[in-house]
C-alpha cells in the first residue's frame, strides 16, 4: 500500500542529517512546489554552486546541477570542491565516505547531474509504506532510534541477569528509510547511475537485501559496477556502550543485467542483526547504509531529445531465505530474485538525452 501524508549513536547521525536539511538555503523540505525553481546559489565549505530544486507532490526532492566548466572544457581535479558539490546536491558526508574519489571527481566533471531524494515511513503491522517529507522522517526517526537504544540497553541487562531474551515489541513495527538516486551525464552518450540507501531506523526482519539502479534505453557498461556498505555497531557491556563503524565492499551477488528495455546493476548483501548475549556482550546494529553505482550508454546515441526514466531501488526481503540469492530486473525493479517478491523502495529521475 502506497500512501501520502502531510505530515545516542542514532542521535548524533540523525541530528547531523536534520542540520543538513535545514542548512540548505532553499525552501522547507516539506513545501510542495512541483515546479522547478530558478537556480539558487548553494554555498558549501567556501564553494558556491547554482542548484535547481523542486519538491514534488510525493515529497521527493529533485535537484539539478548544470556544470558551467564543462562547456569551457575545464577539468576539476579539486576533490574538496567535488565533495562540496555532492553535499550541495543533498548527499551527507557519512554516505559520501562510501564513494571512491574517482567517482566523486567523475560526477564533478559531468555536464549535468540530477538527483532524486525520497524518504519513507514503513509500518510492518499495518503493511503500509508512506512517502513523507525529509525533515519529518529525520525527526521521527531520531525519536524512535533513541527509544530503541534505551530499550536495547535495558533488555541487554535483563538478558545478562535473567537469561530471558525479549520480543521485538511495537518499537520495531515502524522504520524510516532514505533512497537517494543520482544520474550524471558524462558526455558522449555516457551516464553514471548511482543509488545510496539508509535505514534511519532498522527493520525488525533482516536477511538478504539489495541495492541498485536501472535505466531505460541504455546498455550497462561492463566492469563499471562497484559498491560498498557500512553500519554502526554498538556493544553493550554491563550496561555501558562501545561504538564502532563497520565497513565492507563484499556482496553475495553483484553484477549487470539487461531485461525488458531496462539495463542496470545491483549488489546483494545480508543485513546485520542485533543480538543479545548472556555474557553481557550484546550487539546492536544501526544506521545501515549502502552505495552502488555503474555506468551506461544510450542505445541510440545519434538521436537527440530522448526522454527516459532511471530508477534507484532498494529491495527488502520479508521471509527467511534458505539459499544465497541473486538479483534480477522485473518491470523496471531491480532487486533480490526470490519468491515471494521483496518489497521495493525507489527514487526516480526523469532524464532527457543529451542532457
Q: Name the pTM for this structure.
A: 0.89
For residue 33, the model assigns a pLDDT of 60
Quote the DSSP letter at residue 278: T
For residue 21, the model assigns a pLDDT of 45
pLDDT for 330 beyond 60: yes
Q: Are 274 and 166 in contact (CB under 8 A)?
A: no
For residue 32, the model assigns a pLDDT of 64
Average pLDDT of every residue of the chain: 88
Highest-confidence range of 8-22, 23-37, 128-142, by mean pLDDT?
128-142
For residue 166, the model assigns a pLDDT of 78
Amino acid at each position: 500500500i502506497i500512501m501520502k501524508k502531510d505530515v545516542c549513536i542514532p542521535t548524533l547521525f540523525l541530528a547531523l542529517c536534520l542540520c543538513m536539511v535545514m542548512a540548505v538555503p532553499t525552501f522547507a523540505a516539506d513545501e510542495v512546489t512541483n515546479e522547478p525553481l530558478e537556480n539558487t546559489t548553494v554555498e558549501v565549505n567556501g564553494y558556491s554552486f547554482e542548484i535547481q530544486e523542486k519538491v514534488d507532490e510525493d515529497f521527493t526532492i529533485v535537484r539539478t546541477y548544470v556544470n558551467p566548466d564543462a562547456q569551457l572544457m575545464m577539468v576539476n581535479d579539486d576533490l574538496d570542491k567535488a565533495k562540496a558539490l555532492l553535499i550541495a546536491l543533498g548527499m551527507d558526508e557519512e554516505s559520501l565516505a562510501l564513494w571512491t574519489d574517482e567517482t566523486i571527481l567523475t560526477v564533478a566533471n559531468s555536464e549535468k547531474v540530477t538527483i532524486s531524494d525520497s524518504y519513507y515511513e514503513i509500518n510492518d503491522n499495518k503493511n503500509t509504506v508512506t512517502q513523507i517529507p525529509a525533515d519529518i522522517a529525520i525527526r521521527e526517526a531520531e525519536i524512535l532510534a533513541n527509544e530503541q537504544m534505551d530499550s536495547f540497553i535495558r533488555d541487554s541487562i535483563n538478558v545478562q541477569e535473567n537469561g530471558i531474551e525479549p520480543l521485538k515489541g511495537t518499537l520495531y513495527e515502524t522504520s524510516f528509510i532514505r533512497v537517494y538516486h543520482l544520474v550524471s551525464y558524462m558526455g558522449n552518450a555516457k551516464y553514471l547511475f548511482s543509488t545510496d540507501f539508509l535505514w534511519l531506523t532498522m527493520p525488525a526482519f533482516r536477511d538478504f537485501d539489495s541495492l541498485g539502479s536501472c535505466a531505460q534505453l541504455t546498455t550497462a557498461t561492463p566492469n563499471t559496477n562497484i559498491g560498498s556498505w557500512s553500519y554502526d555497531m554498538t556493544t553493550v557491556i554491563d550496561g555501558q556502550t562501545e561504538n564502532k563503524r563497520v565497513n565492507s565492499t563484499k556482496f553475495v551477488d553483484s553484477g549487470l543485467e539487461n531485461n525488458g528495455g531496462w539495463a542496470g546493476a545491483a549488489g546483494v548483501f545480508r543485513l546485520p542483526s542485533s543480538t543479545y548475549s548472556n555474557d553481557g556482550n550484546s550487539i546492536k546494529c544501526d544506521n545501515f547504509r549502502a552505495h552502488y553505482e555503474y555506468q551506461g550508454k544510450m542505445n541510440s546515441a545519434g538521436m537527440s531529445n530522448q526522454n527516459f526514466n532511471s530508477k534507484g531501488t532498494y529491495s527488502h526481503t520479508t521471509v527467511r531465505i534458505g539459499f544465497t540469492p541473486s538479483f534480477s530486473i522485473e518491470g523496471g525493479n531491480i532487486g533480490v530474485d526470490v519468491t515471494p517478491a521483496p518489497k521495493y523502495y525507489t527514487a526516480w529521475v526523469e532524464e532527457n538525452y543529451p542532457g
